[in-house]
Amino acid sequence: MQHNVGGHSTFVVSNIDFLSYGFKGLGEDEQFWVTGFPNDPLSVPPWQWSGYGAPPGLPVCIHSTHNNYIAVSSFKRGTDGKYHRRKANFSRMHIVMVDDVGTKVPLERLVLSPSVQVETSPGNFQAWYFLKVPEPDPRRAVRLIDGMIENGLTADASDPGMRGVTRYGRLPVGVNGKAKYVERIGHPFVQTVPIWSPHVRYSIEEIADAYEVDLNVFETHKRRQVAAPKHSVAKTINGDNTVLDLLIRADLYQDSLDGIAGAHVIICPWVHEHTDEDPSGTVYFEPSEENNWHGGFKCHHGHCQSRNIADLSHFMARLQLINQG
């Protein structure tokens, strides 16, 4: 169904409609991953980004007056028997999302017509490509996304909102509650759907050809091996719980980093300061002889360039006090 908003034609689409088409053929041991919350996404605590696996049904956090998000991939159970939105739990990539179309990415760079396009803030869109066959190889999925970024589907190729197979995008029904939009228009921006063509689907090869991406080229990173720490799992805070333990309990832990002993991919505690709240690109290093048994912290986002292990330890100490209180 179409209706008119401000002189522009938009579609009436439910989040269930979007998920039914985007994750068509979801396996019995697969779950898509969502999260949602009210208010300004730049001010919510990091744990609210952890989200929930679904189906069956959508969790109560997904509401028309909330900021609502969906990951581009489905996830399977881990060795602990639970579902997580982690690279280690990746099952298949079902959708490819191009972020910031109309602002950072000119409309003419979209050489393929989207399956769905959602206006997520005034004049700013997320374009979604539904895959004919979900991609089960994480290397090919990452290569496609990285190749599209390298070939111009981002403003600067360094901090794009579309990077990563665990990446969130906004569900079509919801609001953008960032304070700058509330201040500008007097209320959260209510999202609209100017393009709804869910039967338009592409193979990963068709998308790669259109954006000139070679799916057979995989980057190889030379990673420095670090000796396993002599101490316990991680540095303690106030002589009590370890940093790693607290990160896991706060749902900030994602996965171990392949190739580097004692390195772990985490969600940055300051993710709300990242461009579009991108949760990727943050690593915690366990204490080792190389870092004088202090541990390490590195976030590749611009807002966090000056932060180090002391900042992480201070944050986790405060979190521990909150938990004890």
Tell me if the domain spanning 2-210 has CATH number 3.40.50.970: no
Helices (H) and strands (E) counted in the chain, each on its own, are: 6, 18
Q: Report which of 128, 123, 106, 160 is spatially closest to residue 274, judged by C-alpha positions.
A: 160
Edge-to-edge strands, sheet with 263-266? 253-256, 263-266, 282-285, 296-299
C-alpha distances in Å from residue 284, one per residue of 256, 262, 298: 9, 8, 7
**pLDDT by position in tens, the chain (length 325):** 555 544 467 899 999 999 999 999 999 999 999 999 999 988 877 778 889 999 888 999 999 999 999 999 999 999 889 999 888 899 999 999 999 999 989 999 999 999 999 999 999 999 999 999 999 999 999 999 989 988 888 755 544 455 689 889 999 999 999 999 999 999 999 999 999 999 999 999 999 999 999 998 765 443 333 333 333 334 444 444 478 778 877 778 887 776 677 888 888 888 877 766 677 788 888 887 776 677 888 888 877 888 888 888 888 877 665 555 4
Q: How far apart are CA 285 and CA 282, in angstroms?
A: 10
Alpha-carbon Rg for the chain in angstroms = 20
- Label the pairing between strands 189-190 and 116-121: unpaired
Contact 117, 98 (CB under 8 A): no
Kindly state the tokens that stand for 60: 């109560």
- Domain limits of the chain? 2-210, 243-324
Helix, strand, coil content of the chain in percent (nearest 5): 25, 30, 50
pTM assigned to the model = 0.70
One-letter amino acid at 148 equals: M
Q: How far apart are CA 20 and CA 162, in angstroms?
A: 21
